[in-house]
Amino acid sequence: TQLLEQSPQFLSIQEGENLTVYCNSSSVFSSLQWYRQEPGEGPVLLVTVVTGGEVKKLKRLTFQFGDARKDSSLHITAAQPGDTGLYLCAGHKAAGNKLTFGGGTRVLVKP
Amino acid sequence: NAGVTQTPKFQVLKTGQSMTLQCAQDMNHNSMYWYRQDPGMGLRLIYYSASEGTTDKGEVPNGYNVSRLNKREFSLRLESAAPSQTSVYFCASRVGQPNTEAFFGQGTRLTVV
């Protein structure tokens, strides 16, 4: 069982539709990060959320950190085929420097 | 800008063989990590080094050892490879301050037969 649970594991949608990916835990994190990974590459950071209730926007992507700092969501508006990839959330706790990842959500946006 | 460099990129081992995966970063980062990623899955932390001279176990350390050789280099050793260790291995580094970005290497694809 992973400390960070992502849902759904796989999402297939048509271009122009919206989607939401969730990242949940029973633990409190000092911050959560979202990464995107393309095939054959390492993950690349999209955003870091630090404050409970924080909302950050990155073009068509909206990220939210839960009030209790135990969960986060990623919402994509009007998805495009270029949004296809593996989305990973990662949590950092206040003590130590451990960075733990969730199981990932594979997103496929069909043209 | 090299960033995080992993060698080798591909490796096939026979069960019981040993090998060391190398990782080097040129960003003067304090913290370094080793993860494994199985097909279609997320990243699982094997070991990490918060700073030079320290190493700590992650979620799946059994069957692996690590060495933080200096600030730049962090190696992962498989003493007696098993088919269950077939995976893609990623090294990452970051500054070491809270909430900072982790930078990843390109990965090492390891197959144990």
Q: For residue A78, is it within any domain?
A: yes
Bridge partners (DSSP) listed for residue B89 = B36, B108
* Dihedral (CA of B67, B73, B76, B79) sign: negative
Q: What's the number of domains chain A is made of?
A: 1
* A100 is a domain residue: no
Query: Could you tell me the residue range of the domain that residue A17 belongs to?
Result: 5-95+105-110
Q: What is the pLDDT of residues A30-40, one digit of tens each?
A: 899 999 999 89
- The whole-angstrom separation of Cα A62 and Cα A84 is 16
- Asked if B31 contacts B94 with a C-beta cutoff of 8 angstroms, the reply is yes
Amino acid, res. B5: T
Write the CA distances from A44 to A8, B25, B79, B85, integer angstroms. 20, 16, 30, 24
The answer to whether residue B98 scores a pLDDT higher than 80 is: no
| Interface mutation target, options A11, A29, A99, chain B, most CBs of B under 10 Å | A99
Instruction: Output the domain CATH number for residue A85.
Output: 2.60.40.10
**Domain presence at residue A54:** yes
Residue type, B54: T
> Chain A partners of B95 at a C-beta cutoff of 8 Å?
none
Lowest mean pLDDT among A90-99, B53-62, B102-111: A90-99
Q: Residue A85 domain-assigned?
A: yes
Listed residue (B83, B96, B75) closest to B6, CA to CA: B75
pLDDT of residue A91: 93
A82-99 pLDDT, tens digit each: 999 999 999 988 776 889
**Cβ within 8 Å of A, B 41-80:** 41-45, 48, 50-51, 56, 58-59
As a whole number of angstroms, the distance between CA B113 and CA B17 comes to: 10
